[in-house]
Amino acid sequence: MTFPAQFLWGAATSAYQYEGAATADGKKPSVQDAVSDLFKTASDGYHHAEEDVALMAELGLRAYRFSVAWSRIYPDGVTLNPAGLAYYQHLLDLLEAAHITPVVTLYHFDLPQALAEAGGWANRDTIAAYQRFAHTVFEAFGTRVTYYQTVNEQNMLLMMSLKQALAGQGTVQDALQGNHHLFVAGALAIQDAHAHFPHILIGPAPNLVAVYPLSPKPEDALAANTYDALRNLLFSDMAGFGRYNPTALAVLAAAGITLNVTEEDRAVLAQARPDLLYFNYYNSEVVTAASGPLPFRKVPNPETPQTAYGWDIDPLGLRITLRQLWDRYRLPLMITENGLGAQDALEGGAVHDQARIAYLRAHLQQVGQAIDEGIHVVGYNVWSAIDLVSTHDGFEKRYGLVYVAQDAARTRTRKDSFAWYQGVIASDGETLN
Ligand code: BG6
């Protein structure tokens, strides 16, 4: 397999999971700060920019994907905080000097708390707040940043608000209306970028899974098809076609959900064609037919190994996903996250994360084969560049190529996967053959 010379070999972090410094330089809380105290310090990336970019340079990274903490830039959702921008400007300086291409996510799960208190995404006004934030970032970063994601994993955000609604916090209707507002916000950011910053390559970054039916029964195939529509196509069709996936809409209508979609919304969504489709891939899922409010049920896959956290490990599912996306949308693709969460042990100054190496190698081999098949893949980002706080499992579950100790200095140690990925990048993927 041959990777193109300009392939973006990258690794990623997100602001609230990595930066810490939750109240530094004018930052106010995001919704994540209320979830766990771990985010107060996290990996203390905010105070380790020099050290971490030096590690990335040593690793040979061609790209670093990070997110901008909205609540640093607009702490109360309305008032600009120049000190927040200054942190990212400095980071961009460091990346430029190290010849590392920045890949910037505008919004990664961390809505400013002030906006959440004003109704969050269910409130249509949040669209304008996001537009202001996105425009400020485009303007401040100028031509230094080409690659942007509008929203990280909008489908996981919806899942979170649906879970909250089922637990009595908010309603399912509001969760889905909020999801619609977020679609419009992302589309407006794409339009803004295209109108005023023509160098920008922008798109959303949903979390996609390969979906399989449990058996050859047509009922299971139909269940898989319906699940795929809600789990994946609702989000990727909005990006690729600028409209709602009809199956997903039909399931929502059958559940009594009617979205308030204005004519103007429809026009905005239809006109905002992304330049790239970014996506995060971790696993595949298996479903079987079920009776009840939803016509499917997720079941374990008897054929795939699992991570210690119960996620199916399925590199072929990544190739299947790449094929499906390319076939359906003909948009260049970038994998913005892929990686293995594990309880790494620091022993004698080393972390022997062989399972992570095996996971990354197997997935990258499938990316290489997809490229050989003619699929346009622009880049691949390991989740994560540096250890950070997992969204669901705290600091116990680690993803990094670099270990971060829980001491006061947040001491960094290169894991075995660091040297391995360094070799892959230095050989332009040759060592994967
Ligand atoms: C994605 C997110 O859902 O997966 C990341 O974009 C997250 O923020 C990653 O950390 C892995 O999930 P988790 O729960 O294992 O941290």
207 DSSP assignment = B
What type of residue sits at position 70? W
Residues 6+ apart with CB under 8 A from 102: 63, 64, 65, 66, 91, 92, 95, 141, 144, 145, 147
Mutate to test the pocket of ligand 1, among 110, 335, 391 (most ligand atoms within 8 A of CB): 391
At residue 320, φ and ψ (nearest 5 deg) are -60, -45
**For the segment 141-188, what is each residue's pLDDT rounded down to a tens digit?**
999 999 999 999 999 999 999 999 989 999 999 999 999 999 999 999
Query: Ligand 1, closest atom to CA 388?
Result: 10
Cα 390 to averaged position of ligand 1 atoms, centre (Å): 6
Whether 207 lines ligand 1, by a CB cut-off of 6 Å, is yes
CA distance 32 to 60: 31
pTM over 0.95: yes
Q: Is the CB of 391 under 6 A from ligand 1?
A: yes
pLDDT of residue 292: 82
Cβ of 319 closer than 6 Å to ligand 1, yes or no, is: no
Residue 349 pLDDT: 95
- Look up residue 347 and give its amino acid: E
Q: What is the pLDDT of residue 293?
A: 81
- Pocket lining: 280 vs ligand 1, CB cutoff 6 Å: yes
Burial tier of 65 (Cβ tally within 10 Å: 0-12, 13-18, 19+)? buried
Q: Which atom of ligand 1 is nearest to the CA of 311?
A: 15
Atom of ligand 1 nearest to the CA of 392: 14
How many A from CA of 393 to the centre of ligand 1? 9
The three-class DSSP label of residue 193 is helix
How does DSSP assign 252-279, residue by residue?
HHHTT------HHHHHHHHH---S-EEE
CA of 262 to the centre of ligand 1 (A): 33
Ligand 1 centre from 391 Cα, in Å?
Answer: 5
CA separation for the pair 112, 138 (Å, rounded): 19
Other Cβ atoms closer than 10 A to 6: 9
Residue 403 CA to residue 350 CA, distance in Å, equals: 9
Q: Is the CB of 152 under 6 A from ligand 1?
A: yes
Centroid of ligand 1 to alpha carbon of 298 (angstroms): 20
Whole-number Å distance between alpha carbons of 238 and 272? 9
- Please name the residue whose Cα sits nearest to atom 7 of ligand 1: 391
Can you give the pLDDT at residue 89?
98
Two tokens at 389? 């706080």
Residue with the nearest Cα to atom 5 of ligand 1?
A: 391
Beta bridge partners, 377, equal 333
Cα-to-centroid distance, 156 and ligand 1 (Å): 9
Ligand 1 atom closest to the Cα of residue 393 is 14
pLDDT of residue 193: 98
Residue ranges for the chain with pLDDT beneath 50: none
* Per-residue confidence (pLDDT) for residue 163, from 0 to 100: 93
Nearest to 208 by CA among 115, 329, 96: 329
Beta carbon of 397 within 6 Å of any ligand 1 atom: yes
Backbone angles phi, psi at 173, to 5 degrees: -60, -45
Give the atom of ligand 1 at the shortest distance from the alpha carbon of 152.
6
Q: Is 14 in the pocket of ligand 1 (CB under 6 A)?
A: yes
Q: Please report the pLDDT score of residue 68 as a whole number.
A: 98
Q: What is the pLDDT of residue 336?
A: 98
For residue 217, the CA-to-ligand 1 centroid distance in Å is 33
Would you name the residues annotated as active-site residues?
A: 153, 337
Contact 272, 202 (CB under 8 A): no
Sign of CA dihedral 121, 125, 126, 131: positive
341 CB under 6 A from ligand 1?
yes
